[in-house]
């Protein structure tokens, strides 16, 4: 089971400096009408899928003698992901669901995490700057809400809590003046959630461990049932609900305002200067590779 399709979004950023430190606030928003595909429960087009991710980091610039500038940073981020699979699909008939009808529901994913990263800037010719970035995301807590009440009957909403996991991201950007472009990737790996009872009498429900493509174990996915006699059954949890059900890897080429002002001096070294405050906005169009 997977969700695939195009996403569009942007990143707004505001940076200011004080006492030799820089403080940056980022807000990322993206949205896509994705295609749900499952060998068991069929397909569904134009599934709303949205990500909202504000974060705040603080860091410091450390210029080196060879012209490179190292900028470590740390902070706090909050990631919200929403997916709406409400409606029916036609899939495989089973003894438990001879009609082959399946009903979807809304899902909400919340991650609280602490990013720790390092950006490096290297001066190139004609005031261009190479700016690779690496980051590790310490996963603090996750909450997954499946609104099974959308299906009706004996089903009730399920809230699962996740406590272990991690994420990481990397970017290879090229900057000039207030603009930059380049590819980046982001990946999450989250362990099993706690167990919650099934109101319809089935086995306890969990948010399974996020695994690489093709490795998710089917026996970890509870097939959530409709009340006895109903003509539809809820979808089993989507295999790829963006970054929710397994690591999310996205490669993207973007053009956006850089968060720093970089100028070249006569010696050819790079001198980094930050305004007391600056803001930027990043338009982007994302294509998930394996959702």
- Which tens digits make up the pLDDT trace of 58-75? 999 999 988 899 999 999
Tokens describing residue 164: 């272990």
Q: In whole angstroms, what is the distance from residue 100 CA to residue 116 CA?
A: 47
The string of pLDDT tens digits covering residues 144-193 is 999 999 988 888 999 999 999 999 999 998 988 777 788 889 899 999 99
Residue 210 pLDDT? 53
* Burial of residue 226, with CB atoms counted within 10 A of its CB: 0-12 exposed, 13-18 middle, 19 or more buried: buried
**pTM over 0.75, yes/no:** no
pLDDT tens per residue, range 18-45? 999 999 999 999 999 999 988 888 899 9
Task: Spell out the domains of the chain, with CATH numbers in brackets.
Answer: 2-286 (2.40.128)
Tokens standing for 228? 């006895």
Specify the 3-state DSSP secondary structure of 127: helix
């Amino acid at each position: 089971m997977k969700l695939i399709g195009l996403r569009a979004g942007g990143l707004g950023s505001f940076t200011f400096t004080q006492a030799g430190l820089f403080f940056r606030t980022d807000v990322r928003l993206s949205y896509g009408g994705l295609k749900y595909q499952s060998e068991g429960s069929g397909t569904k087009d134009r599934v709303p899928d949205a990500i909202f991710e504000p974060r705040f980091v603080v860091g410091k610039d450390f210029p080196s003698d060879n012209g490179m500038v190292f900028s470590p940073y740390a902070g706090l981020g909050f990631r919200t992901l929403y997916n709406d699979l409400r409606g029916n699909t036609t899939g495989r008939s089973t003894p438990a669901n001879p009609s082959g009808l399946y009903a979807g529901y809304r899902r909400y994913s919340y991650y609280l995490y602490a990013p720790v990263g390092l950006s490096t800037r290297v001066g190139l010719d004609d005031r261009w700057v190479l700016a690779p970035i690496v980051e590790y995301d310490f996963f603090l807590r996750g909450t997954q809400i499946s609104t099974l009440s959308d299906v009706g009957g004996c089903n009730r909403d399920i809230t699962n809590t996740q406590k272990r996991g991690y994420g990481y991201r990397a970017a290879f950007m090229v900057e000039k003046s207030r603009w930059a472009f380049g590819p980046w990737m982001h990946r999450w790996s989250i362990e099993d959630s706690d167990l919650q009872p099934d109101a319809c009498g089935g086995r306890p429900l969990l948010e399974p461990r996020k695994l690489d493509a093709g490795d998710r174990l089917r026996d970890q996915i509870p097939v959530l049932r409709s009340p006895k006699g109903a003509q539809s059954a809820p979808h089993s949890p989507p295999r790829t609900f963006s970054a929710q059900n397994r690591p999310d890897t996205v490669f993207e080429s973007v053009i956006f305002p850089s968060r720093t002002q970089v100028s070249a001096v006569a010696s050819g070294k790079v001198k980094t200067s930050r305004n007391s405050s600056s803001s930027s906005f990043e338009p982007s169009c994302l294509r998930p590779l394996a959702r």
